[in-house]
Each structure stands twice: as structure tokens, then as C-alpha cells.
């Protein structure tokens, strides 16, 4: 994206004629990075060969782009003194009776991930360090089913940088919840993924400039005060 410009990219119908947004200024002391749901289960290819081939572009994006960029992003945030936080989907019970309805429905969104099982853990390449906060959720939104909202307020966070998966599901739900709570939200487009690039890009267009500002990895250093 040599001609990438976060001020004009990912414009939906609502904003295709809107003025460019103001410059972004982030105070590290009031900014958090939230990495959402990059867990072992999402890197396990389906046993069915046809399904495995169908999902291969997603695995390629995760391994070649999303996980390396999140590792860079986390490293940058730690060096700059931002609060680094993680969210993951996992249930407290073995049978998943504590899950939200959306995670009990049959199909792709059916998720039975007991909290101590290996497939529910964050991938090793993005492991939390020290006292970095990890919230465990049984909903799409990282705010709805956890005390993340309270912790962000207690820490004094006003700006949240969001990365992770899936762009059109848990990322979008979390972004909308954060926006409704009046946090300033940035979504890092090249540190996120949906099942397909088309879904990823369409969701970014939908949420951009309403619930968040969609930016790129290389934009972030220039935002720090």
C-alpha cells in the first residue's frame, strides 16, 4: 500500500464525501493496546481436506502478516509504555454452560473452549509478559462479558488500539462497545484478519470513522505525543 493514507482509506457510503479526520495524538499514559482472540484453536486446520483448503488463505494471512505484526505491535507498545492487554474466548466450565447464546449455536460460532485447555490459550508468539492483563470472555465483545471496562477506567485509559481476530466478529463487537463507552478507538488493519480478505475489508469500511479510526502499523509511531 504505497499510497496508503489512513485519512482517506476504508471509506463507506456514509463517509465517502466526508472531510478528512483530524490528526491523532496519543498520550502513552492513557493509551492501551488490546489484542483480541489470537488463540491456538484458530490456527488448527480443519480435518476435512476441502475445508482445510478453503481456510488456507486465512492461515496464510495469520502466519505471514497478523501474528508477526502483532508481535511488532506488542513490542512497540511495551517500549513506549502503553498498557498491553489481551482478550481471549474461553469458558469457565467444562461443558460450556456459561457461554453466551451466540457461542452455543451450531456452526462456525459454536465455541467450546474450557479456559485451561491448550486450544483456548493465546499463541506462544504473543504471550503476555509480567502483569499484563488478560481478560477471558464468553461473548464477542471483550467489554460485555468481562470487567475490562472497569479496569480501563481505573488505569486511566482514554485511547484503545485494537488488533486481532475476527475483524467482522469479536474485533467489531469490541470496537463498537468501546465507542459506546466513549473511548477513542484505533483499529490496526494490518494486524487483524477475518475469514476472508473481503470480509475483513468490508467490516473495516463499516466501522471506520463511526466507531473507530482504521490505521496501519506504520502510522502508529507518528501518533504518539
pLDDT digits (tens, 9 = 90+) for 153-164: 999 999 999 999
Residues 167-188, mean pLDDT to the nearest whole number: 98
Burial 109-125 (b: 16+ CB within 10 A, else e): eebbbeeeeeebbbbee
pLDDT of residue 2: 57
Q: Which residues contact 55 (CB under 8 A, 6 or more apart)?
A: 45, 46, 195
Cα separation of 218 and 168, whole Å? 22
**Pick from 6-10, 26-30, 104-108, 149-153: least confident:** 104-108
Average model confidence (pLDDT) for the chain?
A: 96
pTM: 0.96
Q: How many Å apart are CA 26 and CA 148, to the nearest integer?
A: 20
Compute the average pLDDT of residues 97-111: 89
Percent of the chain at pLDDT exceeding 70? 99
For 191-207, the pLDDT digits (tens) are: 999 999 999 999 999 99
Q: What angle is formed at CA 74 by the lines to CA 68 and CA 79, rounded to 5 degrees? A: 130
Half-sphere exposure of 84 (CA within 13 A, CB side): 19
Instruction: Give the model's confidence band at 108: pLDDT under 50 very low, under 70 low, under 90 confident, else very high.
Output: confident
Which among 8, 58, 3, 1 is positioned nearest to 198, based on CA atoms? 58
Query: Would you state the cell numbers that stand for residue 68, as one nine-digit string?
Result: 508477526
- Mean pLDDT across 41-61: 96
Whether 160 contacts 135, CB under 8 Å? no
Amino acid at each position: 500500500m504505497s499510497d496508503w493514507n489512513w485519512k482517506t482509506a476504508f471509506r463507506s457510503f456514509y463517509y465517502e464525501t466526508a472531510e478528512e479526520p483530524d490528526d491523532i495524538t496519543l498520550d502513552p499514559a492513557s493509551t492501551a493496546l488490546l489484542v483480541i482472540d489470537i488463540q491456538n484453536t484458530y490456527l488448527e486446520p480443519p480435518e476435512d481436506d476441502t475445508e482445510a483448503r478453503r481456510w488456507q488463505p486465512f492461515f496464510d494471512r495469520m502466519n505471514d502478516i497478523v501474528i508477526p505484526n502483532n508481535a511488532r505491535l506488542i513490542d512497540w507498545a511495551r517500549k513506549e509504555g502503553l498498557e498491553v492487554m489481551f482478550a481471549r474466548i474461553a469458558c469457565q466450565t467444562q461443558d460450556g454452560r456459561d457461554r453466551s447464546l451466540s457461542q452455543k449455536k451450531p456452526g462456525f460460532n459454536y465455541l467450546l473452549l474450557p479456559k485451561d485447555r491448550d486450544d483456548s490459550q493465546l499463541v506462544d508468539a504473543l504471550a503476555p509478559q509480567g502483569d499484563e492483563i488478560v481478560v477471558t470472555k464468553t461473548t464477542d465483545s471483550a467489554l460485555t462479558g468481562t470487567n475490562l471496562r472497569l479496569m480501563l477506567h481505573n488505569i486511566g485509559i482514554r485511547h484503545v488500539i485494537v488488533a486481532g481476530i475476527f475483524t467482522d466478529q469479536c474485533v467489531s463487537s469490541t470496537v463498537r462497545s468501546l465507542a459506546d463507552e466513549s473511548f477513542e478507538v484505533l483499529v490496526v488493519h494490518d494486524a487483524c484478519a477475518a475469514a476472508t480478505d473481503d470480509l475483513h475489508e468490508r467490516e473495516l469500511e463499516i466501522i471506520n470513522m463511526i466507531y473507530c479510526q482504521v490505521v496501519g502499523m506504520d502510522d502508529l509511531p507518528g501518533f504518539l505525543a
